[in-house]
A and B are shown apart, each in its own frame.
Chain A
Amino acid sequence: MADGKFMALARFPVGAWMFQALLPAKPGKTPDNPRFAMTELMKLERAATLWIAENVAISKETVRFLRSQAGLTQAALAELLDVDARTVARWEAGETVIDRARFDALARLALEHGEGDETTLSRLRAEPVQRLGEIDLKVA
């Protein structure tokens, strides 16, 4: 109980990570199955998105999770990241690994979508992802 309200542990897995938080809840039909408001779960989902982005937690599951948070189909994401739709499917199947630049772009899309912000979406529509960052290399 907190402030007189019933609180319960909400947990959800994204690959190797289990995200959890105490959220306001209502008792469910059974004691071990409380009920959470979708608005509260969306806050937890957003916190998980931020953690994945900040920790560059790249995995097939986090790519799929971020894509869902960005509200994009595999084909739509592929177009924005300038890859084939089959490439996105391979990332999410664990057959290949997304590169850092595209992962960062995907994370930005996911975070901004939750705020109704289309800054990165507009940039990617105008310009391929690989041109978003420049890396200076010293070659001996």
Chain B
Amino acid sequence: MKSAAEVLVLLSRLSEEQVSYDAHTVLFHVEQLGLSYSQILLALRSATVVDDGGLPDSCIVEFPHEGQSLLCRFDINTDGITIVGFGWR
């Protein structure tokens, strides 16, 4: 099982090739967030783990975006991470 600290290390070293999106999140992403994919990657690198209850399969992190706190939920797999949802705190 990965610890929150290990997740942070993973995120800080994340490359574009290691990130994937599920189709539902793609639809939500552009319409709701106003963030490009490269901006999401940058934000994840400095995100804070707020929920590690589902580790190692999933995790929720938080990062600031235009005055709001944005939550990102993702699954961790052998290739990297898959972003499966966003929300606002």
Contacts and interface: CB of A to CB of B under 8 A. Distances in A.
B27 A37 contact: no
Contacts, number: 75
Contact residues on B (Cβ < 8 Å of other chain), bracket? 20 to 34
A61 B39 CA distance: 18
B contact patch SS = helix
A68 B35 CA distance: 5
B54 to A, nearest CB: 14
Interface stretch (A5-13, A100-108, A118-126, A132-140): A5-13
Interface residues of A, number: 29
Contact of A14 (B22, B30, B82): B30
Given A35-B22, A38-B41, A39-B17, A68 B31 contact: no
A33 B26 CA distance: 10
A36 B27 contact: no
Interface in A66-98: 67-69, 71, 73-74
5 contacts: A13-B30, A14-B30, A28-B23, A41-B21, A71-B39
User: Shortest 5 CB-CB distances between A and B: which pairs?
Assistant: A38-B19, A12-B30, A68-B36, A35-B20, A42-B37
Interface of B: 16-17, 19-24, 26-27, 29-31, 33-41, 66, 82
